[in-house]
């Protein structure tokens, strides 16, 4: 018998009924400290008063009209993003996957319009995650995602993460773009070092191809800058955003330069819900908070506190934890025991974390987490580690 919900998820035996700030309450009244934030989504925690107000105010006014008409809230959010980033123009989607779809279409259209319809190939990296659509899984290229789902969409070339020679060898006269996450999320909080991102920018420029950054997970303040590319000083041609920008409301975006977006004229792309007033009202409010330089410097300060606490845990439990990786509040704890055991021991200690590849446990708290809650997190992770210690 099949459950009434298609059983594609391996769910933890937990269900939450309410949340405030960094805390979630289960249906049986237990309080969990949320260090997953719905996979880097609840950037301002749960039930942030400004977000509740933005959503309810918009909900009382107007929910949906469609992109047949101008949408004031969409204009506001687009202008904010253009002001705050490299981008000249923005298209709104409902998810990261949809943003990925448009980024790929845009890169191909760019070369088509330049008279190079053969330049369609997108170079991607192993460990990448770009969503679960046909293009998204082809871009990621992992066996686990593509097996059984028919012909893999052509036009993607995977190269190993962090190696120069295979990347150089992968460029041909069919290449359109390089697509990369500045910090891989699902791939295990693997960061592209600043000098490599600079090198990648030069590499794309020298071959006349586009650089597409997937900041769906690492963007919107998560890395301690508004967008992770800012750490390196380079700018992409196209960038995908989602997760954190909606603070829990489903919204995504593709940001692009005027040049890269040149081919995307009326009728070339669309979405019924993309840029819907509800999502844009919430997105604007998230961005107003997160783009404040003081807010971002606080993210970095909190990151320091978390690193300090975790450093202590590594010293206390050298058989369980290996190292801390990541940037800002996109933190990975590489484990020596199975990472899923650490996540599960966390459930018993009432702290939520998220597993990733490379035996990493992701710690992705709300960006406005209270200092006190960082201490509680370290205590609860200590409790989790202690429970595992007896098994090692
Ligand atoms: C989550 C994620 C996506 C897919 O986003 P959805 O909103 O789940 O469609 C794409 N890229 C990266 C880097 C992600 O972390």
The string of pLDDT tens digits covering residues 259-282 is 999 999 999 999 999 999 999 999
pLDDT of 390 reads: 75
What residues of the chain score a pLDDT lower than 50?
A: none
Q: Which residues pair with 91 in a beta bridge?
A: 254
Strands 121-125 and 156-159: parallel
What distance in angstroms lies between residue 136's CA and the mean position of ligand 1's atoms?
Answer: 9
pLDDT of 150 reads: 95
Q: How many CA atoms lie within 13 A of 85 on its CB side?
A: 34
Q: Which residues pair with 373 in a beta bridge?
A: none
pLDDT of 33-56, one tens digit each?
A: 999 999 999 999 999 999 999 999
CATH class belonging to 16-34+293-389 = alpha beta
244 lines ligand 1 (CB under 6 A): no
C-alpha 146/C-alpha 321 separation (Å) is 32
C-alpha 18/C-alpha 333 separation (Å) is 27
185 lines ligand 1 (CB under 6 A): yes
C-alpha 120/C-alpha 112 separation (Å) is 8
129 lines ligand 1 (CB under 6 A): yes
pLDDT of 391 reads: 64
Q: Collapsing DSSP states into helix, strand and coil, what is residue 82? A: helix
Nearest-atom number in ligand 1 for the CA of 97 is: 9
Q: Of 52, 71, 175, which is closest to residue 124 (Cα–Cα)?
A: 175
C-alpha 181/C-alpha 186 separation (Å) is 10
Nearest-atom number in ligand 1 for the CA of 133 is: 9
Give the architecture (CATH level 2) of 50-290.
3-Layer(aba) Sandwich (3.40)
Strands 190-191 and 210-214: unpaired
What distance in angstroms lies between residue 382's CA and the mean position of ligand 1's atoms?
Answer: 30
Most ligand 1 atoms within 8 A of CB, residue of 92, 125, 130 to mutate: 130
C-alpha 157/C-alpha 123 separation (Å) is 5
pLDDT of 392 reads: 57
C-alpha 283/C-alpha 378 separation (Å) is 31
Per the CB < 8 A criterion, the answer to whether 360 and 183 are in contact is no
Domains of the chain, by residue range, sit at 16-34+293-389, 50-290
- Residue nearest atom 15 in ligand 1 by C-alpha distance: 217
């Amino acid at each position: 018998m099949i459950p009434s919900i298609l059983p594609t998820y391996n769910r933890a035996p937990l269900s939450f009924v309410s949340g405030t700030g960094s805390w979630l309450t289960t249906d049986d009244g237990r309080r969990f400290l949320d260090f997953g934030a719905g996979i880097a989504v609840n950037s301002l925690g749960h039930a942030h008063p400004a977000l509740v107000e933005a959503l309810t105010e918009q909900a009382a006014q107007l929910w949906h009209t469609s992109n047949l008409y101008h949408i004031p809230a969409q204009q506001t959010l687009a202008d904010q993003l253009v002001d705050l980033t490299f981008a000249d123009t923005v298209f709104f989607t409902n998810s990261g996957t949809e943003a990925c779809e448009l980024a790929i279409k845009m890169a191909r259209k760019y070369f088509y319009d330049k008279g190079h319809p053969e330049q369609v190939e997108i170079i991607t990296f192993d460990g990448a995650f770009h969503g679960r659509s046909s293009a998204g899984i082809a871009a990621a290229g992992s066996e686990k995602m593509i097996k059984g789902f028919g012909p893999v969409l052509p036009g993607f070339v995977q190269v190993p993460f962090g190696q120069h020679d295979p990347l150089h060898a992968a460029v041909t006269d069919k290449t359109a773009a390089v697509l990369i996450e500045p910090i891989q999320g699902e791939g295990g909080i693997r960061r592209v070092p600043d000098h490599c991102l600079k090198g990648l920018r030069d590499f794309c420029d020298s071959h006349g191809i586009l650089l597409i950054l997937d900041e769906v997970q690492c963007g919107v303040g998560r890395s301690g800058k508004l967008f992770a590319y800012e750490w390196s000083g380079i700018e992409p041609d196209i960038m995908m955003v989602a997760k954190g920008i909606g603070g829990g409301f489903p919204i995504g975006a593709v940001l692009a330069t005027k040049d890269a977006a040149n081919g995307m004229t009326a009728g070339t792309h669309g979405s019924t819900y993309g840029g819907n007033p509800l999502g844009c009202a919430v997105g604007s409010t998230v961005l107003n908070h997160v783009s404040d330089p003081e807010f971002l410097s606080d993210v970095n300060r909190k990151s320091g506190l978390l690193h300090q606490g975790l450093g202590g845990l590594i010293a206390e439990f050298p058989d369980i934890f290996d190292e801390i990786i990541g940037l800002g509040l996109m933190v990975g704890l590489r484990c020596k025991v199975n990472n899923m055991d650490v996540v599960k021991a966390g459930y018993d200690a009432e702290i939520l974390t998220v597993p990733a590849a490379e035996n990493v446990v992701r710690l992705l708290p709300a960006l406005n987490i209270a200092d006190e809650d960082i201490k509680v997190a370290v205590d609860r992770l200590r409790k989790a580690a202690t429970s595992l210690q007896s098994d090692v």
